[in-house]
Copies of this chain bind each other. A is one copy, B any other.
Amino acid sequence: MLETVRWITAEGKILSRCEEGVDLLPGKLRLIDQTLLPQELVFIETDDLEEIFDAILRLCVRGAPAIGCAAALGLAAVAQHIKAESIEEFTDKVQVVADRLAQSRPTAVNLFWALDKCCAHLRRCAVKSADNMRLTLIREGLEILDEDIRMCRAIGEHGRDLIQHGMGVMTHCNAGALATGDFGTALSPMYAAHEAGRSFTVYSDETRPLLQGSRLTAWELSRAGIDVVTICDNMAAQVMKEGKIDLVIVGSDRIAANGDIANKIGTYGLAILAKHHNIPFYVAAPYSTIDTSLEHGDLIPIENRDPEEVRNFGARRTAPEEVRVYNPAFDVTPHELIAGIITESGLHRPPFSFN
Contact = CB atoms under 8 A, between A and B. Distances in A.
A346 interface: no
A234 B211 contact: no
Given A214-B318, A241-B268, A323 B234 contact: no
Interface stretch (A115-123, A127-135, A225-233): A225-233
Contacts of A280: none
Nearest to A330: B238
Nearest to A313: B313
Contact of A232 (B209, B215, B320): B209
B319 A237 contact: no
A236 interface: yes
A319 B234 contact: no
Given A272-B272, A325-B230, A317 B208 contact: no
Contacts of A320: 38, 218-219, 222
A2 interface: no
A207 interface: yes
A93 interface: no
A311 B276 CA distance: 29
Grouping DSSP codes into helix (H, G, I), strand (E, B) and loop, the A interface class, with mixed when no group exceeds half, is mixed
A219 B323 CA distance: 7
A268 B232 contact: no
Contact of A273 (B215, B272, B322, B327): B272
A171 to B, nearest CB: 13
B206 A208 contact: yes
Given A313-B316, A326-B239, A233 B230 contact: no
A259 B227 CA distance: 37
A83 interface: no
B323 A218 contact: yes
Contacts of A236: 269
Interface residues of A, number: 56
A147 to B, nearest CB: 31
A328 interface: yes
A126 interface: no
A25 interface: no
Given A211-B318, A214-B318, A319-B215, A235 B326 contact: yes
B269 A230 contact: no
Contacts of A14: none
Contact of A233 (B38, B214, B219, B232): B232
A315 interface: yes
- Complex A-B, nearest 7 residue pairs according to Cβ-Cβ distance, in ascending order: A234-B266, A237-B269, A214-B319, A233-B234, A208-B232, A38-B320, A314-B316
23 contacts: A172-B234, A206-B208, A208-B233, A219-B320, A222-B323, A228-B324, A229-B323, A229-B326, A230-B311, A230-B323, A231-B327, A232-B233, A232-B266, A233-B234, A235-B266, A237-B266, A237-B269, A238-B268, A238-B269, A241-B268, A241-B331, A313-B316, A314-B316
Given A38-B320, A214-B323, A230-B325, 13 more contacts: A39-B317, A206-B208, A206-B310, A219-B320, A222-B320, A233-B233, A234-B266, A235-B265, A238-B265, A238-B269, A241-B331, A269-B269, A269-B273
